Amino acid sequence: MKIQNSGEKLDDDQKAILSNVIAGFHFQNHTELLEINLKTYDKEGNRAKWVSNIRASTDWGLFTAEADDWKLNLSAKQALRKLEEQLEKAKTKR
C-alpha cells in the first residue's frame, strides 16, 4: 500500500503519530493507495483544529472520508474509522 500526504507539512513527531494511527487499521490489505490531505484552521494560541481528508483506492472502488478534531491523532482516527466502515459495507456487498 502506498501512502501519500498532502496539505500541511508535518514534523517528525506528527509523522510518527500518523503512522501509528494508520498501522492500527486492518483495511490495508485491500488498499492500493491511501491519500491523506491534512489541513489546520481555527488556530487558537498554540492549538489548531485538524481536518483529515482521506481517499482510498481499493479493488472495490474509490472511497473518501473526512473528520476534524483539535488533535491530529483523533482527527485521523475518526476519518479512518469512517473509511473502514465504508470498506466493510462494500466488502459485504460483494
- Report pLDDT for 63: 93
- Report pLDDT for 1: 57
Indicate the Cα dihedral angle 60, 61, 62, 65, nearest 10°.
Answer: -40
Residue with cell 510518527: 16
Report pLDDT digits (tens) over 53-73: 999 988 888 999 999 999 999
Domain-by-domain residue ranges, the chain? 2-93
Q: Which residues of the chain have pLDDT under 70?
A: 1-2, 27-29, 94
pTM: 0.84
Write the CB contacts of 89 (distance below 8 Å, at least 6 apart in sequence). Answer: none
- Report pLDDT for 2: 67
Beta strands, E only, the chain: 2-7, 31-44, 47-58, 61-69
CATH architecture of 2-93: 2-Layer Sandwich (3.30)
Indicate the Cα dihedral angle 41, 47, 49, 53, nearest 10°.
Answer: 90
